[in-house]
Structure 1
Amino acid sequence: MRKVVVVDGTSMKGKYGGCLLSACAQDGNFQIFPLAFAVVDNENDNAWEWFFQKLSTFVTDCPQLVFISDRHASIYTGMRKVYKEAHHAACVVHLWRNIQVLYKMPRLGNLMSAAARAFTITEFNRVFIQIQRINPACASYLVDIGFTHWTRAHFKGRRYNIMDSNIAESWNAAIKEAREYPLIMMLEYIRTTVMGWLALRRAKANNEQGTLTPNVRKLVEENYDLSTAMAVRDISELEFQVQDPTGECFTVSLALGSCSCREYDEIGIPCPHALAAASKVWFPSDSLVASAYRIQNWREGFAGKIYPVPSVGGSQVGSSTTTELLPPAVRRPSGRPRKVRIKSRGEFKKSGQSSSNRRCARCGRTGHNRASCRNPI
């Protein structure tokens, strides 16, 4: 698979609280592939360092590896200690939410998203200049974060098409119901869910015909339709100048798998310019696609199987030695369990209604809350 891992943490809703950490990737068909999950007491430095140490036993550290997460300080601390060669990128969606809350201008968030997703530095500079003109404070905020951390054009690694942590967010949503269960029931729910996913996708991959995964094949077909309106001129044997309908020219090297638009280089799927050049010399388009998107590699991703845990449902857990397992000594907070997701460090909260406009839950009048209500009902 592509060496991009999305990590995230989400709170558990059971009696004893806790936090569920997860690491997910994408298979060659752009579907969620859970790599690891763990239950910890809280999202702190020790928990994330321990999680990364366990993850490193099969996701080894290397310069080609990329992690994407929100800007939680403990994730940064744990990664610096365990993954010293891998690159770390910030989730663009979390950054977009912060800008919406801080500056209350939807256009600024959209411009930031466009700048982050730009493939070339020239395209990034064009968008970022607009941000500077509209709000210099927002531009300064983004500069302080570091262009190499949130933009694709300046990033030192290769994050392909994964610009946010939506993979992990979707995974958390899929197991939302299980987070209210007792611990062992929750883990069994997760195990059976992943087991079912892998079985279905294994069958789909084995039945698929052709050389490319279904979703990638659709993208290649869409790009090919766009390539038919482009003019191609030879530079050398496998190098071409490609001119799009707007008049802009790009340089394509089929031998290097590269295009000056940088889309082909970053994602590994041929852009319309590369497909236009390939059509001129009858070069097979499937051979231009990166190996991670091929059917054979897609099938190999599901070669492993998940089996039931033998002790689940039995009268004995673990070894033959009788051990009394007690729940953690915690005090359940008063009130109803929290249902709304807790914001991460570095993720700002939207300001709610002011106390002068908020209605009292007891009497329905404004200007106070239920605790300070003195109005007769």
Structure 2
Amino acid sequence: MRSKYKKNAKVAWMYWKVAKAYIEFEFQQVMKSLSRLHPEAITYLCEVGYDRWARAYFSSHRYNVMTTNIAESFNALVKHARGLPITMLLEFIRDACTSPVTPWVEDKIAKRVRKSLNLEVHPITTERYQVLCSGQYDALVDLTEHTYTCRKFQLSKIPCMHVIVVAKYMKLTTCLQWVHSYYSTVFYQTVYADAVNPLGDQSKWLHPEEATVIHPPYMHRRRVGRPANKNRRPSQKEVVEQLICSRCHQPGHTRQNYRNLVPVPSSITSSSRRKKKDGK
């Protein structure tokens, strides 16, 4: 969507809004607004299929966790311990999480706690509660079936603001018992659970008789900014724009990458010939 309708930023913004909708009613409302703004985008999304990109129609659970670009997340976590030896760095990673859930889940729950301050709870039974926002119906919470009409908890397995306000009404100090074990610190620390043995005394290391000099690799001069990812697979029916040279009007390269000799215009050639003739 970003590449197909990149000239219309509002279309891309509304696409993300409709893709992240939890319930079908909210999904349909945004789709109506998008159809009035750009009917061609609606046709394209319908051809792709709602279950492939829309959260409200996805058949399973989506945890909203990016599995790519882990380097930036890791650097943000260990930015205060980068200069430590590798063994101490691993110990820092193991001890970074002291709560039952990961820091990302803690931050998300804290944001939802702030959003739940204006909500009211009306009990129906000991396990079912009606949540009101500004005196109007907002959601129905069923703690027995673990079903909530906003569907945020069913899909993300993290307590939504409706569950959080019900936990406050029940005088509970925390709502972490409803967080899925996928987000627990135990799962997080299991990745780094293997033992790392020390290298020992450096004076007792065995060195080869013939020392091998390893030179650093040759690095080409990088351009400023993030390098372009040319290996990305195009999306379905995505039109890949081909480069056209403004000098020779041939595809596959640009004016800066033109390698052939620049042809001299006929007007310049004829004028130079006249000057030579007049000089003679």
Q: Judge same fold: TM > 0.5, yes or no.
A: yes
| Counterpart in the other structure of 2:77 | none
Q: Structure 1 CA distance, aligned partners of 2:261 and 2:137?
A: 66
Q: Which has the higher contact order (CA 8 A, sep 6+)?
A: 1
Q: For structure 1, which runs of at least 5 residues remain unmatched after alignment? A: 1-95, 175-195, 308-312, 315-335, 363-368
**Alignment TM-score, normalising by the size of structure 2:** 0.66
Instruction: State the partner residue of 2:63.
Output: 160
In the alignment, the residues of structure 1 paired with residue 243 and residue 30 of structure 2 have an alpha-carbon distance, to the nearest angstrom, of 31
Cα distance, 1:272–1:148 mapped onto 2, change above 3 Å? same
Contact 1:360-1:373 at 8 Å conserved across structures: no
Shift of the alpha carbon at 1:107? 1.1
- Counterpart position of 1:88: none
Verify: 1:355 aligned to 2:246, yes or no. yes
Change in CA separation of 1:353 and 1:372 when aligned onto 2, cut-off 3 Å: same
Offset of 1:288 from its aligned partner? 1.7
Tell which structure's C-alpha radius of gyration is larger. Answer: 2
How is 1:90-239 mapped onto 2 (pairs within 5 angstroms)? 96-101=1-6, 104-162=7-65, 167-170=67-70, 200=89, 203-206=92-95, 208-239=97-128
Is the CA contact (8 Å cut-off) linking 1:205 and 1:295 kept in structure 2? no
Identity of aligned residues (%): 21
Single out whichever of 247-256 and 141-150 deviates more from structure 2.
247-256
Give the Cα separation in 1 of the matches to 2:87 and 2:54.
33
Q: Which residue of 2 aligns with 1:345?
A: 234
Q: How many correspondences in the alignment?
A: 226
Instruction: Work out the CA distance in 1 between the residues paired with 2:96 and 2:16.
Output: 38
Alpha-carbon deviation of 1:274?
Answer: 0.7
Name the aligned partner's letter for residue 341 of structure 1.
N
Classify 1:168/1:210 alpha carbon distance in 2 versus 1 (closer, same or farther; 3 Å).
Answer: closer
Q: Which runs of 5+ in 2 are unaligned?
A: 75-84, 198-206, 209-220, 266-280
Aligned Cα root-mean-square deviation (Å):
3.9
Whether 2:191 is the aligned partner of 1:297: answer: no
More strand by share: 1
In the TM superposition, 1:225-304 aligns within 5 A as 225-245=114-134, 247-283=136-172, 284-304=174-194
Once residues 282 and 173 of structure 1 are traced to their aligned partners in structure 2, the CA distance between those partners, rounded to angstroms, is: 35
8 Å CA contact 1:99, 1:108 repeated in 2: no
Find the aligned partners of 1:257 and 1:199 in 2 and give their Cα distance.
42
For the structure 1 residues 245 and 146, does the alpha-carbon distance in structure 2 shift closer, same or farther, using more than 3 Å as the test?
A: same
Report the alpha carbon displacement of residue 129 of structure 1 after superposing the two structures with TM.
1.3
Does the CA-based 8 Å contact 1:124-1:153 persist in structure 2? yes
Q: For 1:227 and 1:287, how far apart are their aligned partners in 2? A: 18
**Secondary structure of the corresponding residue to residue 119 of structure 1:** coil
Where 2:67 maps in the other structure, the secondary structure is: helix
For 1:245 and 1:205, locate their aligned partners in 2 and report how far apart those are by CA, in whole Å: 44
State the match for 2:79 in structure 1.
none
